[in-house]
Structure 1
């Protein structure tokens, strides 16, 4: 399939064009195609485009069979932005990584917006789904689109709808998760709500784009702060001779006023360790002071890999083995169980710190074939249980369902469980 649009295709009516076919954009395209919408996708990576058009997925939550069904329903991926010209709705789902100034790098957003502006026509709906700070849609996206000469609310509609994709979640997919939508004007909101109402079960209308943008950051800041709280409690509880895991279990029996969060070796993925920075950046740049809750949570969660390595060193010392020269096996290097996504995984700083202390680091992950730290490959073992028997220390960093945890506990020489899954004598738990 050509990545360029033919003349006959240019004239076809398209109900949705998705810009950015990653972990947000591709599930959206899949759901839209599944309800009968004609969908096209635009991505700057020709390898991704070619693979999708051949029926192959690069996203954990979208299978090759899903892509083949999308193709059968008329979906085509392009590198040619001419595919935007006939789309009734254009949704921008490009990455917003953390920039050097601590805020989001909006380079991909501005580039995508300029591309849309070049193809913008009256009656279109444009939606930004990329996570960013409150004000981005009005202050960055709107002016760029209006350089086309068309006006928001008069000639075209513009809205923000935060993505709520939870990789690996088989219970709450895109369709089942309520979709928050905020438009630049009331008419923009009406048009955006009507569009998403075709794809998801519940649409929640926000007061405006800023409220929709803030909702996304609030969700992830809430989790970030509470994870930091329980991580610090884990450190404190050990010093106070308290079993923090049992305390959490007991507190979790309260039927109101409490939600259980659990300690971890650190936070990973794009959302938790990255998104709260956008809010912190906006507060700092616009109001001139720090968002102290976020700053403190970042500090606590960032130091968890160092705490894990310190505990690992203590465990080896207790067994009469120095960290220097010890063979340490890391199990699970992705940021969530049962997915291949490694973004911001705490496994990376853990491995780095172990190497700095002259440990020999090995890894196993059923979802990762090869892994490197700072450009240097980490040897992969094929049999996790056999390797745990041979290595001086095994650290469970991610509790993939493929791991036989009871057998692992019986097999490993020394086992450090950072996920609180194995409670038995001889197993060190975070």
Structure 2
């Protein structure tokens, strides 16, 4: 009989995992609280770039996958994976989605099952928080009755080279038996499952990965501000430094950071250090401050560029290219573009946006969407590149625009200014 896997959360982490589990031979139930998502999934209509309609349809046709809002469908599961969001609320980790998922799964826990948390969180969540929720709801204990572990997600939306199956997957368990179960499960899902000694180590490793990137992005963002004031091309300096074959890793500036990881995950680590040790994590707090203010810097630079051409921001027509936080995706979570657009509109600018990956209905604000054409470019007083989707024609942008402010280093020309 096929082993039954329940994946709670059918977003950019849970849905690829569910699809991969179906291909590995598991019977999979995808649970999501959003009825709209569930309806689309069961109709083989995807909303995740990394999972196409064809892959979803193939999974449905096996008869071993279906999506649902009903936790009752979790009955009889062998492995339960929790991939729900873990946002911040007023600077404090918000684990209500983890708690809700844990309480709902607990009703169907029986001896021998395995539960894995994938949501990014602070060290101690699995062993101290989720374990208590599961034990109270099931009346069983771990270690002993059921298995519990943590395996941080490493999904990079839009990355065609590194996907779920070929990205090494860190695995952990609350005891040796749990680790063995978690490792065996992911051993069928990914090419390389990397065991560590405890969930705390696995939880910290995920925060380390994202804090490393967050801090280094902040470094080059602040460097880009000062380099511009010194009259130095920061992009040329980065290209030059990138020729060093050791002791250097390339990071590039931009309009800020977005997604659910960089703006949030380092703050989980900072909160845990402050709460448990009473110390401030100065690197994280400084990086937060720098990256949070990059949208303001972009608006300031664009304002200066328009002033040089005797144009105020007010009533200027500005075409924004790219609203998603990451190239070649339609993900708007915590996108710095949202702050930039709102700031420009507060200043009275006539803002339009082009983004081939985003549906107008998904926008969290009211902005007129436009096609990237020579006519649209020519009508704009300024073109602002915030997300450098590969589907944009950058030669056309540089040729047809009066002014381009490029935060992603994709355009060249006398009419182009770069961050």
| CA displacement, residues 219-248 of structure 1 (integer Å, 9 cap, x when unaligned) | 000000000000000001111111110110
Contact 1:363–1:378 (Cα < 8 Å) also in 2: yes
2:283 to 281, 284, 293: 293
| Structure 2 Cα separation of the partners of residues 23 and 335 of structure 1 | 14
1:350 equivalent in structure 2: 340
Contact 1:13–1:87 (Cα < 8 Å) also in 2: no
1:330 equivalent in structure 2: 320
Q: Residues 117 and 371 of structure 1: is their aligned pair in 2 closer, same or farther, counting only changes over 3 Å?
A: closer
Structure 2: segments with no counterpart, 5+ residues: none
1:39 equivalent in structure 2: 28
Q: How far 1:149 sits from its partner (Å)? A: 2.2
Contact 1:338–1:400 (Cα < 8 Å) also in 2: yes
Q: How far 1:263 sits from its partner (Å)? A: 0.7
| CA displacement, residues 334-387 of structure 1 (integer Å, 9 cap, x when unaligned) | 111111111111111111111121111111111123278774x11112344321
Q: How far 1:17 sits from its partner (Å)? A: 0.9
1:58 to 44, 47, 52: 47
| Structure 1 Cα separation of the partners of residues 82 and 374 of structure 2 | 44
1:156 equivalent in structure 2: 146
| Structure 2 Cα separation of the partners of residues 95 and 133 of structure 1 | 13
1:230 equivalent in structure 2: 220
SS in 1 for 2:93: coil
Q: How far 1:93 sits from its partner (Å)? A: 0.7
2:248 equivalent in structure 1: 258
> How do 1:33-182 and structure 2 match up within 5 A?
33-73=22-62, 74-100=64-90, 102-147=91-136, 148-182=138-172
Q: Residues 82 and 180 of structure 1: is their aligned pair in 2 closer, same or farther, counting only changes over 3 Å?
A: same
SS in 2 for 1:341: coil
Q: How far 1:261 sits from its partner (Å)? A: 0.3
| Structure 2 Cα separation of the partners of residues 279 and 236 of structure 1 | 28
1:18 equivalent in structure 2: 7
Q: TM (normalized to structure 1)? A: 0.94
Number of aligned residue pairs: 417
1:186 to 148, 173, 176: 176
RMSD (Å) for aligned C-alpha atoms: 1.4
1:247 equivalent in structure 2: 237
| CA displacement, residues 178-206 of structure 1 (integer Å, 9 cap, x when unaligned) | 00011111111111001100010001111
Q: Residues 293 and 373 of structure 1: is their aligned pair in 2 closer, same or farther, counting only changes over 3 Å?
A: same
2:402 equivalent in structure 1: 413
Q: TM (normalized to structure 2)? A: 0.97
Q: Residues 243 and 133 of structure 1: is their aligned pair in 2 closer, same or farther, counting only changes over 3 Å?
A: same
| Structure 2 Cα separation of the partners of residues 419 and 318 of structure 1 | 22
Q: Residues 149 and 374 of structure 1: is their aligned pair in 2 closer, same or farther, counting only changes over 3 Å?
A: closer
Contact 2:2–2:26 (Cα < 8 Å) also in 1: no
| Structure 2 Cα separation of the partners of residues 143 and 13 of structure 1 | 29
Structure 1: segments with no counterpart, 5+ residues: 1-11
Contact 1:165–1:174 (Cα < 8 Å) also in 2: yes
SS in 2 for 1:199: coil
Matched, 1:422 2:411: yes
